[in-house]
Amino acid sequence: METVQAVIGLGYVGVPLAVAFAESGFKVIGVDVSEEKAKVLNQGTSITPDVSDERVQALVAEGRLEATTDFSRVSEADLISICVPTPLSKSKDPDISYIVSACDAIVPHVKEGAVVVLESTTYPGTTREIILPRFEKRGFKVGENLFLAFSPERVDPGNETWNIRNTPKVVGGLTKECGRRAAELYGRALETIIPVQSAESAEMVKLLENTFRAINIGLVNELAMVCSRLGLNAWEIIDAAASKPFGFMAFRPGPGLGGHCIPIDPLYLSWKMRMLDYRVRFIDLADEVNSFMPEYVVRRCGEILNEYEKSVKGSRVLLMGVAYKKDIDDVRESPALDLYEKLVHLGARVVYHDPYVKSFNFRGETTEGISWDQVCREDFDLILIATDHSRTDYATLAKRGIPVLDTRNALKGFEGEHLFTL
Ligand code: SAJ
pLDDT tier at 211 (50, 70, 90 boundaries)? Answer: very high
* Amino acid of residue 180: R
**Dist. CA 173–CA 203, nearest whole Å:** 10
Sequence-ordered list of residues with C-beta below 8 angstroms from that of 171, at least 6 positions apart, any chain: 117, 149, 150, 151, 179, 182, 183, 186, 193, 194, 195, 196, 202
**Dist. CA 272–CA 144, nearest whole Å:** 29
Q: Domain check: are 187 and 318 in the same one?
A: no
Q: Domain check: are 172 and 294 in the same one?
A: no
The per-residue pLDDT for 90 is 85
Query: Helix, strand or coil for residue 53?
Result: helix
Q: For residues 69 and 31, is the Cβ–Cβ distance under 8 A?
A: yes
The per-residue pLDDT for 326 is 94
Between the CA of 340 and the centroid of ligand 1 the distance, in Å, is 21
Residue of the nearest CA to atom 26 in ligand 1?
A: 156
Q: Domain check: are 177 and 249 in the same one?
A: no
The per-residue pLDDT for 92 is 84
User: 394 in a domain, yes or no?
Assistant: yes
Which of 139, 162, 197 terminates a domain? The answer is 197
Residue of the nearest CA to atom 29 in ligand 1?
A: 154
CA atoms within 13 A on the CB side of 364: 0
Mean pLDDT of 222-241: 97
Range among 43-47, 110-114, 160-164, 359-363 with highest mean pLDDT value? 110-114
Atom of ligand 1 minimally distant from the CA of 213: 20
Q: Mind giving me the DSSP string for 201-214? A: HHHHHHHHHHHHHH
Residue of the nearest CA to atom 33 in ligand 1?
A: 210
Which residues have CB under 6 Å of ligand 1? 153-156, 209-210, 213, 217, 251-252, 254, 257-259, 261-262, 324-325
User: 377 in a domain, yes or no?
Assistant: yes
User: 224 in a domain, yes or no?
Assistant: no
**Dist. CA 177–CA 36, nearest whole Å:** 37
pLDDT tier at 29 (50, 70, 90 boundaries)? Answer: very high
Q: Domain check: are 69 and 181 in the same one?
A: yes
Q: For residues 264 and 87, is the Cβ–Cβ distance under 8 A?
A: yes
Q: Domain check: are 96 and 10 in the same one?
A: yes
Strand 359-362 to strand 349-353: parallel, antiparallel, or no bridges (unpaired)? unpaired
Between the CA of 330 and the centroid of ligand 1 the distance, in Å, is 12
% of residues, the chain, pLDDT over 70: 100
The per-residue pLDDT for 49 is 82
Pocket test of ligand 1: the residue of 120, 252, 262, 408 to mutate, having most ligand atoms within 8 Å of its CB, is 262
Atom of ligand 1 minimally distant from the CA of 153: 31
Q: Domain check: are 134 and 262 in the same one?
A: no
Q: For residues 156 and 191, is the Cβ–Cβ distance under 8 A?
A: no
296-341 pLDDT per residue, tens: 999 999 999 999 999 999 999 999 999 999 998 999 999 999 999 9
pLDDT tier at 137 (50, 70, 90 boundaries)? Answer: very high
In terms of Cα–Cα distance, which of 131, 126, 142 is closest to 200?
126
In terms of Cα–Cα distance, which of 11, 278, 6 is closest to 123?
278
Between the CA of 296 and the centroid of ligand 1 the distance, in Å, is 20
Could you tell me the sign of the dihedral formed by the alpha carbons of 163, 166, 168, 170, in that order?
A: positive
* Residue 35 predicted with pLDDT over 90: yes
Q: Domain check: are 184 and 273 in the same one?
A: no
Between the CA of 158 and the centroid of ligand 1 the distance, in Å, is 12
Q: Domain check: are 101 and 164 in the same one?
A: yes
- Domain assignment of residue 351, given as a range: 243-421
Question: Any idea which of 261-265, 290-294, 381-385, 405-409 has the lowest mean pLDDT?
Answer: 261-265
Q: Domain check: are 369 and 306 in the same one?
A: yes
Between the CA of 24 and the centroid of ligand 1 the distance, in Å, is 29
Mean pLDDT of 357-381: 96
User: 124 in a domain, yes or no?
Assistant: yes
User: 16 in a domain, yes or no?
Assistant: yes
CA atoms within 13 A on the CB side of 421: 27
Residue of the nearest CA to atom 38 in ligand 1?
A: 156
Name the H helices within 243-393.
Answer: 265-275, 281-307, 335-345, 372-377
Residue of the nearest CA to atom 37 in ligand 1?
A: 156
CA angle 352, 355, 359 (to 5 degrees): 55
Count of C-beta atoms within a 10 Å radius of residue 295:
13
Q: Domain check: are 191 and 268 in the same one?
A: no
Q: Domain check: are 171 and 259 in the same one?
A: no
Strand (E) or helix (H) holding 31:
strand 27-31
Q: Report DSSP state, residue 380.
A: -
Strand 169-173 to strand 193-196: parallel, antiparallel, or no bridges (unpaired)? parallel
**Dist. CA 39–CA 35, nearest whole Å:** 6
How many domains in the chain? 2
The per-residue pLDDT for 1 is 79
The per-residue pLDDT for 256 is 97
User: 401 in a domain, yes or no?
Assistant: yes
For residue 141, what is the domain's CATH number? 3.40.50.720
User: 147 in a domain, yes or no?
Assistant: yes
Which of 162, 197, 232 terminates a domain? The answer is 197
Q: Give backbone dihedrals phi and psi of 261, rounded to 5 degrees, phi first.
A: -120, -65
Between the CA of 337 and the centroid of ligand 1 the distance, in Å, is 17
Active centre residues (catalytic): 261
Q: Domain check: are 330 and 186 in the same one?
A: no
The per-residue pLDDT for 182 is 98
Say if pTM beats, i.e. exceeds, 0.85: yes
User: 229 in a domain, yes or no?
Assistant: no
Pocket test of ligand 1: the residue of 13, 121, 213 to mutate, having most ligand atoms within 8 Å of its CB, is 213
143-182 pLDDT per residue, tens: 999 999 999 999 988 888 999 999 999 999 999 999 999 9
**Dist. CA 21–CA 245, nearest whole Å:** 38
* Amino acid of residue 266: P
